[in-house]
Structures are given as structure tokens and as C-alpha cells.
């Protein structure tokens, strides 16, 4: 009888211990991801694919819930939202958190970057080389940049003089470009731009051609100006809350880092694919592409060139290696575009 009681007690203890072990075996790491792009946008689809790839490679141990269209944190609050833990992961534009990323403003300068693929490769090489302290509050997944940011307007622009009096939506460095070209910059997030163009609050906007389809601007503008000499790119971040990252098991971190590396390539190529799609979309709607003459394009380029000198001076005043960073950026662009 005593042996039977002992056997029963041991069995119960074993069952209890096994029950207690189940949560740890099957425990899931649940994360949320704030993204300001609409759910149907290529970059939202790509971000979702990134999340699902991580879930797949971790055998379901990590689950990431997507919040599109700025529903968790708006674009200009996304970075701070990640730092504060409102969102675990977030993606937005560096320039939306103005003054937070001074050294990385190099990514927004008019440097003659021809493709989103080049912009994305260069900004990640910059980050890996200089490890800017301005990102120390978060864990960077990866960075990326769009193709040439050019002018999209409601009325034709063939020369600099046509810009006088025009109100152009822009952000960050693009605002300085717009001002240098003689137009009036109007700061505004992407999500508000369609309505502003539709209602005539602004006369045009600076952006890559993907916005013509991805943000439906092709419905409310009539002209796209190929001002490539004064075009710019914009840096984007994909970051994770640092405490969340540090709490992840090393094997999970390793898997995520591997996926991040692969997504740098995917993200850069995606920018170029959607630029082409945006161009095709606006042309199909009967909108016009205006190509500036070489002489006119040089006029525009000459006016924005001082922004490079200004960047170096501003960084020097802050004790940051702006001259070295700009030199590296230009050399790396040349490496990919030669």
C-alpha cells in the first residue's frame, strides 16, 4: 500500500512538472511592428514578408503583429514610440524626427544617387562603418533609401522661374532643396499629401516616382519633372526597442540578423521596382513627364550644391565627422554607379 501511495505521489509530481514545462517549451515571443505605409503598399507587403520569414525560421517562436498606416504610432512619432516601448519594431523616415539623426542627414543630400538599390546599399555601409551614436537608443534592424526624389506638380515646370510662388510639400533636407530652387517649402507627412494636393493646399511635392502609384499622387498631379541634378534620396530606418532586443535569446537574435541582411537587398530592389511602376502608372493616366534640358538641369544642380558645404559645417560645429562621412558616401555611391 505504501509503495502504491509513493508511486501515485511520484506520478502526480511528474505530471505537474511536465505541465509547468509546457509553457516554456511552447512560449511565443510576441512583438508588434508600426509602419506608416498603407497596408497595400509594396513596403508594407515587404515588411510583412520580413515578419513572416522570421516567424518561419524561428519555428513559430516569434510572432510579429503588423500595424499599418501609422495606426499604432504616426510616422513622425514612430522612432520615439519604439524608444518608449509603445511599439517593439518601427519603420519610418529619419527626417521625420528632425534633429535626431544629424550625421545621417548625409543620406538626404542631393548627391546624384540614381537608384533606390544604390541608396540602400550606401546607407547601410555608412551605418556599419561609422556606427553613429544617434542610433544608440535602439537596435537597428537595417536602413534603406529611396530612388531619386524629384518634383511632381499640378502645373508644368520647364525652368527655375516656373517654380516661383509655388508651394511644394517636402520634409527634411528636401525642404532646403525646395527653398534653394526658389519655391516655398511646406512641411507635411506623406499621409496628408494626397488631400493637400487635391485641395490645392500645395502645388506639388518632392518624392520618388513610386508615390505616383503607391500614394496615388498620379490622381492629383499632372506633371513629373525629371530634375535629377537636384534630386535627393531619403533615409529610412527599421529599428527595434533595445530592451526587447536584449531580452531575445541569442539564437533568435542570430536568425533576425540573418534575415535583416537579406532584406537590405530586397528593400533596395523594391524601391526601383515601385519607381518604375509609379512612372508607368502616371503615364497610363495621361500625365506628362517633363525632362529638363541638360543646361537647365545644371542650373538647378548649381543652386543645391551649397547644401553639401552646409552639411559639413554643421557637423563640424557639432563635433561630428561630417567631412569624412560625406567623402565616404560619395566614394561609395561612385563604387556602385561607375
**139 membership: H or E segment, kind and range:** strand 138-145
Domain membership flag for residue 309? yes
pLDDT of residue 26: 43
Q: Is residue 138 part of a domain?
A: no
Please, is 146 exposed, middle or buried when counting C-beta atoms within 10 Å of its C-beta (0-12, 13-18, 19+)?
buried
Q: Is the pLDDT of residue 85 over 60?
A: yes
Residue 19 has pLDDT above 60, yes or no: no
Mean pLDDT in residue range 236-244: 99
Residue 191, in any domain of the structure? yes
| 288 within some domain | yes
Per the model's pLDDT, the better-predicted residue between 189 and 247 turns out to be: 247
Backbone angles phi, psi at 319, to 5 degrees: 75, 25
Q: Label residue 172 by pLDDT band (50, 70, 90).
A: confident
Domains of the chain: total: 1
Average of per-residue pLDDT across 80-101: 95
In a domain, 41, yes or no: no
Q: Is the confidence at residue 22, as pLDDT, over 50?
A: no
Section 157-181 average pLDDT = 96
High-pLDDT (> 70) share of the chain, %: 92
Phi, psi of 235 (to 5 degrees): -85, 135
**Interval 8-35 mean pLDDT:** 62
Would residue 127 count as lying in a domain? no
State the CATH number of the domain containing residue 223: 3.40.190.170
Per the structure, the complete domain to which residue 211 belongs is given by 150-233+276-337
In a domain, 86, yes or no: no
Give pLDDT, residue 29.
Answer: 97
pLDDT tens digits, residue range 270-280? 999 999 999 99
Average pLDDT, the chain: 93
119 φ/ψ sector (left φ>0, alpha ψ -120 to 50, else beta): alpha
Residue 333 located in a structural domain: yes
Q: Say what the pLDDT of residue 21 is.
A: 47
Answer with the residue of higher pLDDT: 224 or 6.
Answer: 224
Give the per-residue pLDDT at 98. 81
Per residue in 248-290, pLDDT tens?
A: 999 999 999 999 999 999 999 999 999 999 999 999 999 999 9
Q: What span, in angstroms and rounded, lies between the C-alpha atoms of 132 and 98?
A: 16
Predicted local distance difference test score (pLDDT) of residue 16: 47
Amino acid at each position: 500500500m505504501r509503495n502504491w501511495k509513493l508511486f501515485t505521489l511520484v506520478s502526480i509530481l511528474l505530471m505537474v512538472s511536465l505541465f509547468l514545462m509546457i509553457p516554456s517549451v511552447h512560449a511565443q515571443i510576441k512583438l508588434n511592428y508600426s509602419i506608416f505605409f498603407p497596408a497595400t503598399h509594396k513596403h508594407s507587403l515587404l515588411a510583412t514578408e520580413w515578419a513572416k520569414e522570421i516567424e518561419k525560421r524561428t519555428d513559430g517562436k516569434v510572432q510579429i503583429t503588423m500595424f499599418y498606416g501609422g495606426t499604432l504610432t504616426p510616422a513622425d512619432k514612430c522612432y520615439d514610440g519604439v524608444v518608449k516601448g509603445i511599439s517593439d519594431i518601427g519603420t519610418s523616415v529619419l527626417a521625420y524626427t528632425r534633429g535626431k539623426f544629424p550625421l545621417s542627414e548625409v543620406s538626404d543630400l542631393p548627391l546624384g544617387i540614381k537608384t533606390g538599390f544604390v541608396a540602400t546599399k550606401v546607407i547601410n555601409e555608412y551605418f556599419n562603418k561609422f556606427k553613429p551614436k544617434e542610433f544608440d537608443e535602439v537596435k537597428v534592424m537595417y536602413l534603406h533609401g529611396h530612388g531619386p526624389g524629384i518634383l511632381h506638380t499640378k502645373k508644368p515646370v520647364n525652368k527655375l522661374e516656373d517654380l516661383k510662388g509655388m508651394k511644394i510639400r517636402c520634409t527634411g533636407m528636401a525642404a532646403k532643396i525646395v527653398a534653394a530652387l526658389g519655391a516655398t517649402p511646406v512641411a507635411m507627412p506623406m499621409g496628408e499629401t494626397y488631400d493637400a494636393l487635391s485641395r490645392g493646399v500645395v502645388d506639388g511635392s518632392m518624392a520618388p516616382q513610386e508615390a505616383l502609384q503607391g500614394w496615388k499622387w498620379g490622381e492629383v498631379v499632372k506633371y513629373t519633372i525629371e530634375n535629377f541634378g537636384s534630386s535627393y534620396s531619403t533615409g529610412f530606418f527599421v529599428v527595434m526597442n533595445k530592451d526587447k532586443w536584449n531580452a531575445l535569446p541569442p539564437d533568435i537574435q542570430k536568425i533576425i540578423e540573418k534575415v535583416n541582411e537579406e532584406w537590405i537587398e530586397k528593400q533596395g530592389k523594391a524601391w526601383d521596382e515601385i519607381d518604375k511602376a509609379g512612372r508607368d502608372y502616371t503615364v497610363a493616366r495621361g500625365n506628362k513627364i517633363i525632362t529638363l534640358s541638360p543646361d537647365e538641369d545644371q542650373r538647378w544642380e548649381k543652386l543645391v550644391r551649397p547644401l553639401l558645404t552646409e552639411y559639413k559645417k554643421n557637423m563640424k560645429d557639432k563635433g561630428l565627422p561630417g567631412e569624412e562621412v560625406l567623402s565616404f558616401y560619395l566614394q561609395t555611391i561612385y563604387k556602385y554607379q561607375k
